[in-house]
Amino acid sequence: MNKVWHGKVEWAWVDIEDSADLLDDVDVESFPCLLVTGDKDVYFFGPVLPQASVATQLVERALVGKIAPMENAILEALNQRFIAANLRQNLVK
């Protein structure tokens, strides 16, 4: 999937046990869970089927504006904590 969106999308793997401090008050109830964000906006957060086509569709829709940003202060704060933590070491190549 990186080849499809080269330069437009970054993927980071976040293990919730290793990064529990970043989650703060966000409960992850089901796995796998996907967070789709922009610099400031959160477009999706929730469990997904473990199929590349599902993630592809979500990301494509977010990139072209077919998913409206969620209005959720807790998830917006989570996104900002992830950005501040500089998760570049977790980027998926």
Contact 42, 72 (CB under 8 A): yes
**Whole-number CA gyration radius for the chain:** 13
Q: Which residues span the domain enclosing 64?
A: 20-90
Phi, psi (degrees; rounded to nearest 5) at 5? -115, 30
Q: Taking the model in full, what pTM does it have? A: 0.79
pLDDT for residue 91? 54
Specify if 82 maps to a domain: yes
Percent of the chain whose pLDDT exceeds 90: 26
- The answer to whether position 81 is within a domain reads yes
22: confidence class by pLDDT, cuts 50, 70, 90: confident
Cβ distance 29 to 22 under 8 Å?
Answer: no
* Distance (Å, whole) CA 28 – CA 16: 8
Does a structural domain hold residue 70?
yes
Number of domains forming the structure of the chain: 1
Residue 65 domain flag: yes
| Beta strand spans in the chain (E) | 33-37, 42-47
pLDDT digits (tens, 9 = 90+) for 33-67: 888 988 789 999 999 888 888 888 998 999 899 99
For residue 86, is it within any domain?
A: yes
* 80 occurs within a structural domain: yes
